[in-house]
A and B are shown apart, each in its own frame.
Chain A
């Protein structure tokens, strides 16, 4: 790859940053200090799980029996993994249309998720939701909105309930750069800060909303700054830096859990596939290929793996083993999920209203 900077949404800040892998190694080393080997392996395993889950979708999607629009998370795995490492099953998260990574990182079973994507009865929403609306109460996911920004308010509401019920739960809201353009984002920042709610706002700035680059939509793309007017501390984490995310998320989650209110993290990243569907989008002309190449070079999994191996923290053979085991279990989960029965057609009319069971 040449030194030329690709024209596209990320031009403006790549220009201002010299990428120096050696420097990055040092930073990673400093950050890894606070993490046990077990934590590091967990991070790696979660990222691999997400990647392989979605690669499976890509493999099988052309068969057209997985009839749900898939917004793939490949390229962004560091964020879900780095944040969810610090969450327990009782903590809440809200996700969005790009939901798979967050659900898996929060502990949802891949086969239940696959079953949902296939519209099966044993799917997490009994086939009512599909890829854009997963939910799992036992994992603290109380419903997913594909209306951009919708989940941010639900997260603040989850946090309000936790506070009012004197529970020690933290809520994390995952959302994209596009969602920070919605009024609801600002309304929620205000209220969350006003009431010091235990919520962490994680903005995944992948520089695009559908095909529209952030520079077409916002005059200042540093989204971590948006909390300032509401006294919410903001942090900026460079490209897919999983340990940076991990460290800042831990601080923010601890702060929220201790009653000191919300934080806002902007995590810079890039989605590798088109906005929706399994294909890359540069051939369509949506985004420049050179931009994608640059970000593939900063693959969160590859970079982390290199770091773990070269810093002699974790042996390559162990990482390979993790990957192989995961590949096997994702295959198995897919087999099971795909072969589950469909719901009965009269289930269509169930769940419109809540029915009390006496």
Chain B
């Protein structure tokens, strides 16, 4: 299926084009999704620092202000906590804001409003009020981004009932999942990664949505399961290709949404392979990996042939120096090594 496929190299998408299928980058798929949302839902609007400027949030909102105007593509003051509350209030009163942060690192500024307000309002009001709010946030990486511009903080929010967390990896998914997020009408953390914006893939022109909570098998294999998130989907696919040459058959699962999580899909896979790696774009302790592994053990204590492994950023802040940055980020070769040590 063209929409399930991950394309690592740009050239690979030539096949799609030759079949008359439209190819878009992750960036442009995201932009198209927002344009279609703004067109279809008059109550939807974008808000964020710099959404209307020449950078256009790494190009993902570029030009939308010309099409939809400054009211609906709203530049905002640097006031993340208050503005989050304002977005929540507007959502409760009938709007559908998409709040955009250039870095996930700014989410802690909004922590109170997300955790104590957005996540709780529906419950606290006995279901009278709901909060259709999507919070796009982008994980940065590289060139000395350092400790405050490269964190993946989705794991923290995993702990909070009332919030959904989506982590798209492909152009097809980012469009379908953003549309699903808007239509879901719950507070949703939409986690992107700066390094996947240029990946290409098949993206239909019409509006479509992908069910939240449905993972996908990116690659079938029988020896080991890698549950990979966001940018790690690409790294895992590369690792799988290398390992195939050595006769190791890797199954790559992309959960796409981590809350709710497609537990069943992962369980089926690990039941087959007996081996599990969870690869995430965040620090290790208390993260998605811990949760996935725990969920599997809760289902069947004898599931694993070997102890499961988490591939993550180490439990340190991100350093600035290039040599320390190199040591910090797990790579394809980390994945390959981990797999080899397990089979």
What sequence of 0s and 1s flags, for each residue 306-334 of chain B, a beta carbon within 8 Å of any chain A beta carbon? 00000000111101111111111000000
Give the distance in Å from the alpha carbon of A119 to the alpha carbon of B149 in the complex: 16
Is B12 interfacial (CB-CB < 8 Å)?
A: no
- The distance from the CB of B145 to the nearest CB of chain A, in whole angstroms, is 7
Are A181 and B54 in contact, CB atoms less than 8 angstroms apart?
Answer: no
- Contact A119 to B148, CB < 8 A, known contacts A68-B143, A352-B316: no
- Contact A210 to B314, CB < 8 A, known contacts A130-B144, A133-B147: no
Interface of A is mostly: loop
Give the distance in Å from the alpha carbon of A202 to the alpha carbon of B183 in the complex: 46
- Count of interface residues, chain A, beta-carbon cutoff 8 Å: 44
- Within 8 Å CB of A343, what residues of B? 321, 323-324
- The distance from the CB of A181 to the nearest CB of chain B, in whole angstroms, is 4
Are B77 and A119 in contact, CB atoms less than 8 angstroms apart?
Answer: no
Are B319 and A127 in contact, CB atoms less than 8 angstroms apart?
Answer: yes
State which of B32-40, B78-86, B228-236, B242-250 sits at the interface with chain A: B78-86
- Contact A69 to B323, CB < 8 A, known contacts A148-B78, A182-B78: no
Give the distance in Å from the alpha carbon of A345 to the alpha carbon of B55 in the complex: 34
Are B314 and A217 in contact, CB atoms less than 8 angstroms apart?
Answer: no
Are A211 and B148 in contact, CB atoms less than 8 angstroms apart?
Answer: no
- The distance from the CB of B80 to the nearest CB of chain A, in whole angstroms, is 8
Closest residue of A by beta carbon distance from B148: A146
Across the A-B interface, how many residue pairs have beta carbons closer than 8 Å? 125
Closest residue of B by beta carbon distance from A176: B78
Going nearest first, the 10 A-B pairs with the smallest beta carbon separation are A119-B321, A130-B320, A127-B321, A68-B144, A211-B53, A181-B77, A345-B327, A342-B323, A217-B77, A178-B78
Closest residue of B by beta carbon distance from A211: B53
- Within 8 Å CB of A183, what residues of B? 79, 81-82
What sequence of 0s and 1s flags, for each residue 63-96 of chain B, a beta carbon within 8 Å of any chain A beta carbon? 0000000000001111111100000000000000
Is A311 interfacial (CB-CB < 8 Å)?
A: no
Give the distance in Å from the alpha carbon of A216 to the alpha carbon of B77 in the complex: 8
- Count of interface residues, chain B, beta-carbon cutoff 8 Å: 37
Kindly list 11 other residue pairs between chains A and B, CB separation below 8 angstroms, not including A133-B148, A212-B75. A67-B322, A119-B322, A120-B321, A127-B319, A129-B146, A132-B149, A148-B78, A182-B78, A183-B79, A211-B50, A217-B76
- Contact A217 to B324, CB < 8 A, known contacts A127-B319, A133-B148: no
Are A69 and B78 in contact, CB atoms less than 8 angstroms apart?
Answer: no
Interface residues of A in 165-219 (CB under 8 A from B): 178-179, 181-183, 209-212, 216-218
Are A345 and B324 in contact, CB atoms less than 8 angstroms apart?
Answer: yes
Is A95 interfacial (CB-CB < 8 Å)?
A: no
Which A residues contact B (CB, under 8 angstroms)? 65, 67-69, 116, 119-120, 123, 125, 127-133, 145-149, 178-179, 181-183, 209-212, 216-218, 284-286, 342-343, 345-349, 352
Is B294 interfacial (CB-CB < 8 Å)?
A: no
Give the distance in Å from the alpha carbon of A285 to the alpha carbon of B52 in the complex: 12
Give the distance in Å from the alpha carbon of A186 to the alpha carbon of B270 in the complex: 53
Closest residue of B by beta carbon distance from A148: B78
Closest residue of A by beta carbon distance from B143: A67
Are B55 and A349 in contact, CB atoms less than 8 angstroms apart?
Answer: no
Are B146 and A127 in contact, CB atoms less than 8 angstroms apart?
Answer: no
- Within 8 Å CB of A130, what residues of B? 144, 146, 320-321
Closest residue of A by beta carbon distance from B70: A216
Are A128 and B75 in contact, CB atoms less than 8 angstroms apart?
Answer: no
Is B106 interfacial (CB-CB < 8 Å)?
A: yes
- The distance from the CB of B202 to the nearest CB of chain A, in whole angstroms, is 31
- The distance from the CB of B86 to the nearest CB of chain A, in whole angstroms, is 12
- Within 8 Å CB of B327, what residues of A? 345-346, 348
Give the distance in Å from the alpha carbon of A284 to the alpha carbon of B53 in the complex: 10
Give the distance in Å from the alpha carbon of A273 to the alpha carbon of B319 in the complex: 26
Is B343 interfacial (CB-CB < 8 Å)?
A: no
Are B75 and A216 in contact, CB atoms less than 8 angstroms apart?
Answer: yes
Give the distance in Å from the alpha carbon of A179 to the alpha carbon of B49 in the complex: 13
- The distance from the CB of A27 to the nearest CB of chain B, in whole angstroms, is 33
- Contact A212 to B50, CB < 8 A, known contacts A119-B324, A183-B79, A348-B316: yes
- Within 8 Å CB of A120, what residues of B? 321
- Within 8 Å CB of A210, what residues of B? 49-50, 53, 55
Are A129 and B320 in contact, CB atoms less than 8 angstroms apart?
Answer: yes
Are B322 and A349 in contact, CB atoms less than 8 angstroms apart?
Answer: no
Closest residue of B by beta carbon distance from A129: B320
Contact of B106 among A119, A127, A147, A179 (CB under 8 A): A147
Is B241 interfacial (CB-CB < 8 Å)?
A: no
Are B314 and A119 in contact, CB atoms less than 8 angstroms apart?
Answer: no
- The distance from the CB of A279 to the nearest CB of chain B, in whole angstroms, is 13
- Within 8 Å CB of B317, what residues of A? 128, 352
Give the distance in Å from the alpha carbon of A132 to the alpha carbon of B105 in the complex: 14
Give the distance in Å from the alpha carbon of A129 to the alpha carbon of B320 in the complex: 5
